[in-house]
Amino acid sequence: MPDSVFKKMEAMIRSRQQEIAKTLGELDGKKFTMDEWFREDGSGGGVSAVIEDGNVIERGACNVSVVSGHLTEAGYKKMRENHGDLQWNGNPIPYRVCGLSMIMHPHNPHAPTVHLNYRYFECDRPDGQPMSCWFGGGADLTPSYLYDDDAVYFHQVLKAVCDKHNQSYGEMKEWCDQYFRNHHRNEGRGIGGIFYDDLTTDKPMEVVDFATDALDSFLKVYVPILKERKDLPYTKEEKAWQAFRRGRYVEFNLLHDRGTAFGLMTPGARVESILCSMPRFAEWKYQYKPEPGSREAALVEVLETPINWADKKQSTYPLPPI
Amino acid sequence: MPDSVFKKMEAMIRSRQQEIAKTLGELDGKKFTMDEWFREDGSGGGVSAVIEDGNVIERGACNVSVVSGHLTEAGYKKMRENHGDLQWNGNPIPYRVCGLSMIMHPHNPHAPTVHLNYRYFECDRPDGQPMSCWFGGGADLTPSYLYDDDAVYFHQVLKAVCDKHNQSYGEMKEWCDQYFRNHHRNEGRGIGGIFYDDLTTDKPMEVVDFATDALDSFLKVYVPILKERKDLPYTKEEKAWQAFRRGRYVEFNLLHDRGTAFGLMTPGARVESILCSMPRFAEWKYQYKPEPGSREAALVEVLETPINWADKKQSTYPLPPI
CB contact under 8 A, A255 and B276: no
Out of A52, A264, A285, name the one closest to residue B52 (CB).
Answer: A285
Closest to A119 (Cα-Cα) out of A70, A79, A147 = A79
Torsion of CA B257, B261, B263, B267, to 10 degrees: 180
CB contact under 8 A, A280 and B284: yes
pLDDT of residue B88: 72
Q: What is the ipTM of this complex?
A: 0.93
* Chain A: closest CA distance from residue B277 (Å): 10
Tell me the three state secondary structure of residue A36: strand
Asked if A177 and A306 touch (Cβ cutoff 8 Å), the reply is: yes
From A107, A110, A115, A155, active-site residue = A115
Closest to B140 (Cα-Cα) out of B185, B99, B171, B172 = B172
- Chain centroid offset of residue A229 CA: 21
Closest to B113 (Cα-Cα) out of B247, B273, B297, B309 = B247
Closest to B116 (Cα-Cα) out of B64, B169, B171 = B64
Asked if B137 and B117 touch (Cβ cutoff 8 Å), the reply is: yes
Tens place of pLDDT for every residue, chain A, 322 residues?
456 899 999 999 999 999 999 999 999 999 999 999 998 888 899 999 999 999 999 999 999 999 998 877 776 776 665 555 566 777 788 889 999 999 999 999 999 999 999 999 988 776 666 678 889 999 999 999 999 999 999 999 999 999 999 999 999 999 999 999 999 999 999 999 999 988 888 899 999 999 999 999 999 999 999 999 999 999 999 999 999 999 999 999 999 998 898 888 877 789 999 999 999 999 999 999 999 999 999 999 999 999 999 998 888 999 898 8
For A299, B190, B254, B261, B275, the CA distances from A256, given in Å and listed in that order, are: 21, 25, 9, 11, 15
Q: What is the pLDDT of residues A97-135, one digit of tens each?
A: 999 999 999 999 999 999 999 999 988 776 666 678 889
Tell me the three state secondary structure of residue A189: coil
Q: What is the pLDDT of residues A15-63, one digit of tens each?
A: 999 999 999 999 999 999 999 999 888 889 999 999 999 999 999 999 9
Asked if A150 and A141 touch (Cβ cutoff 8 Å), the reply is: yes
Please identify among residues 222-281 of chain A the ones whose CB lies closer than 8 Å to any CB of chain B: 243, 247, 250-251, 254-255, 261, 264, 269, 271-272, 275-276, 278-281
Asked if B113 and B105 touch (Cβ cutoff 8 Å), the reply is: yes
Closest to B10 (Cα-Cα) out of B125, B78, B95, B96 = B96
Q: Residue B280 CB: number of other CB atoms within 10 A?
A: 20
* Chain B: closest CA distance from residue A283 (Å): 5
Pairing of strands B93-106, B57-71: antiparallel
Cα A198 from Cα A95, distance rounded (Å): 14
CB contact under 8 A, B251 and A254: yes
CB contact under 8 A, B250 and A279: no
* Residue B312, φ and ψ in degrees, nearest 5: -75, 165
Using a CB-CB cut-off of 8 Å, the residues of chain A touching B275 are 251, 284
- The amino acid that residue B171 corresponds to is E
Tell me the DSSP string of B8-72: HHHHHHHHHHHHHHHHHHHHHTSPPEEEEEE-TTSSEEEEEEEEES-SSEEEEEEEEEEEEEEE-
pLDDT of residue B201: 87
Does the annotation count B110 as an active-site position?
Answer: no
Strand partners for A181:
A188
Q: Residue ranges of chain B with pLDDT lower than 70?
A: 1-3, 75, 78-87, 126-130
CB contact under 8 A, B280 and A283: yes
For A111, B8, B104, B189, the CA distances from B246, given in Å and listed in that order, are: 26, 35, 12, 9
Out of B278, B283, B287, name the one closest to residue A280 (CB).
Answer: B283
